[in-house]
Chains A and B, each alone.
Chain A
Amino acid sequence: MSEKAVEIINLVKRFGNFVAVDDISLTIYGGEIFGLLGPNGSGKTTTLLTIATVYKPTSGDVRVYGYSVVSDGDKVRKMVGIAFQESKALGIDKPYDLLLWHAKVVGYSGEEARKVVKDVMEDLGLWEHRNKYFYQLSGGTRKKVEIAKVLIQKPKVAIFDEPTAQVDVVSKHYLWDKIRELKEEGSTIIIATNDMFEAERMCERIAIMYKGKVKAVGTIKELKDLVPLGDTIELELASYADQHVLDMLSRFGKVQGLGNKVIIYVNRGEEVAVDIIDVLRRSGVKVARIMVKEPSLDDVFFYIAGAKLKEEIS
């Protein structure tokens, strides 16, 4: 395991009586892409803004490479860069001016700043928009400007709050590649998202947040394994699946049969599938096709967040 890049220790953040983050603890390791997944209002953004020292913890602490956001804010800020959920820097009206200013603040000299800004803007397809006013830009283009800030900065800890919200599909994949490149260059990446697909495609480990609490942490596989009987094995047999076959398979999990098709709900589907094929082969039942499906992150999320969330949504 690499060194601890970000350590969140019993973090609580209240705004008046509202508890935005409720006693969470997490460790994010150097060089990983870590996801905070949860619905709107689950405390993801508050957590990110606390890591970036924009918010002060009500209690608890966050340590970035050992430095506390409470007592060593200056050192933390030198290591952290954040792309906000909404563009936050419209005070300077044009993207080029803003990014050039940002580049200088994060330490580039004048000539270097102009070069890196041009390179990143061209890379993200922003160059043609460089002298437009912010209000003339689409939501997706503004989002790219926000991400460009972090790509220019190349911080040790790069934070992206819903990086591809409002971004078209092609750009979304391109931005994901750019974020991965940033990781390859040595940054630790933290992404907050409520897009399960984005979380699954991008993140090596995920924390699922709901109502200010961390409900589960792990790799995607570990999280999927939390769902009881969450994997599905679909069998297509060469012959009709009679009761004898169904009874034989029922020891692996919950079984449904329909003609020559059988669906078995199991845990750790890829391991169980090997055993199922072995049992059927020894019994002389021929398998025409087998497919193992994992639960989606949606399933994991609903399982972890609980039935209450389902009720709220419905």
Chain B
Amino acid sequence: MVCMSSLLKDLRYILLLVQWDLMKIVRRVIFVAMRATWFVIQVVFFGPVIAHMVNARGIGLDVSSYYSFYLLGVYTSILFTITASRAYDIAEEFEEGIIEYQLSLPMNRKILALGRAIGSGIASTLFTLPMFLTVIILAKEFDLLAIVISIVSALIFSIAISGFVLTTTLSIKSSDATDIIMGVLDAILVRLSTIFYPAVILKNIAPYYYAAIINPLSHLADLLRIFYSFEEFREIVIANPEAMASYILGLFIGFTVLAMYVIEKKIEGGGWR
């Protein structure tokens, strides 16, 4: 009974922390507007152009198939970028002392870490939901089950990245270092992945291909592609669906556990550079 009551309390804390992140969504209108503009340019201009270019190279995907491939890649990219941008929010929270306020609250630090990771993940997924729906419409893929599974996968991926971002930002305690690390990670991870180019193409350049294999963005992008068009994409994705799903799940467990450990054992107020 006591255990149940404690579990319910912890769940309540997690919900309140999720609410905290959702209440902060409105503060990021300009950032979201910028990313939405980038997204529109990608899907309206670059997507069709690159689809025609790729078709001309003859890799076994026609124009419309590659366009679908590209759209899900762009969606993965923007989901990652917006989730990673939580680092700037967390840095800002540290500078404003909000983290110190949260560290003083009567809740377990593991729950604080889990709540913030889930909250950030949900907020980022909600941000990108209109873009995801646009992708579905443009790709003309209306399979409800695929849509639901995709959103759940995106959420799990986003929570994992949030856990990583939370751990990194709170550990390095530096706005400048956060800017540099997140900028570099965003640039490297988006490019060294299957977001824009299928794995079959990347195989021609071994370092690029192996980087893409361990890159979580490749796994989410290709997993989403498989959900919508298994037959069309199964030959060109980075791994089989079970492996990709396990990778995303492993990432989720690994980074949330890491965030819980670091916040409980290492993080304290002050010392921000």
Contacts and interface: CB of A to CB of B under 8 A. Distances in A.
Interface of A: 15-16, 46, 49, 52-56, 73-74, 77-78, 80-82, 84, 86, 88-93, 97, 101, 104-107
A74 B108 CA distance: 6
Contacts of A78: 106
A272 to B, nearest CB: 48
A122 to B, nearest CB: 23
Interface of B: 12-13, 16, 19-20, 23-24, 26-27, 93, 96-98, 100-101, 103-109, 268-271
B97 A86 contact: yes
B16 A92 contact: no
A54 B271 contact: no
B269 to A, nearest CB: 4
22 contacts: A46-B270, A49-B269, A49-B270, A52-B104, A53-B103, A53-B104, A54-B270, A55-B270, A73-B109, A77-B106, A78-B106, A88-B97, A88-B100, A89-B98, A91-B23, A91-B98, A92-B23, A92-B24, A93-B26, A104-B16, A105-B106, A106-B105
Nearest to A90: B96
A92 B103 CA distance: 16
Given A54-B269, A55-B269, A101-B16, A88 B105 contact: no
B245 to A, nearest CB: 34
A88 B106 contact: no
A47 to B, nearest CB: 13
A91 B106 contact: no
Contacts of A73: 109
Nearest to B269: A54
A142 to B, nearest CB: 12
B75 to A, nearest CB: 28
Given A49-B270, A90-B98, A101 B104 contact: no
Contacts of A52: 104
Contact of A92 (B13, B20, B109): B20
- Give the secondary structure class of B's interface: helix
B109 A82 contact: no
Contacts of A93: 23, 26-27
B100 A49 contact: yes
B108 A91 contact: no
A162 B93 CA distance: 22
A180 B230 CA distance: 69
B24 A91 contact: yes
A84 B101 contact: yes
Contact of A55 (B20, B27, B101, B268): B268
Contacts of B24: 91-92
B97 A82 contact: no
B2 to A, nearest CB: 14
A91 B20 contact: yes
A56 B268 contact: yes
In the A-B complex, the 3 residue pairs with the smallest Cβ-Cβ separation, listed nearest first, are A88-B97, A88-B101, A54-B269
A89 B107 CA distance: 16
Nearest to B89: A91
Nearest to B103: A54
B104 A54 contact: yes
Contacts of B270: 15, 46, 49, 54-55
A77 B98 contact: no
B229 to A, nearest CB: 41
A104 B15 CA distance: 11
Identify which of A49, A54, A80, A84 gathers the most chain B CB atoms within 10 Å of its CB: A54
A14 to B, nearest CB: 10
Nearest to B267: A56
A140 B122 CA distance: 35
Contact of A80 (B12, B16, B101, B104): B104
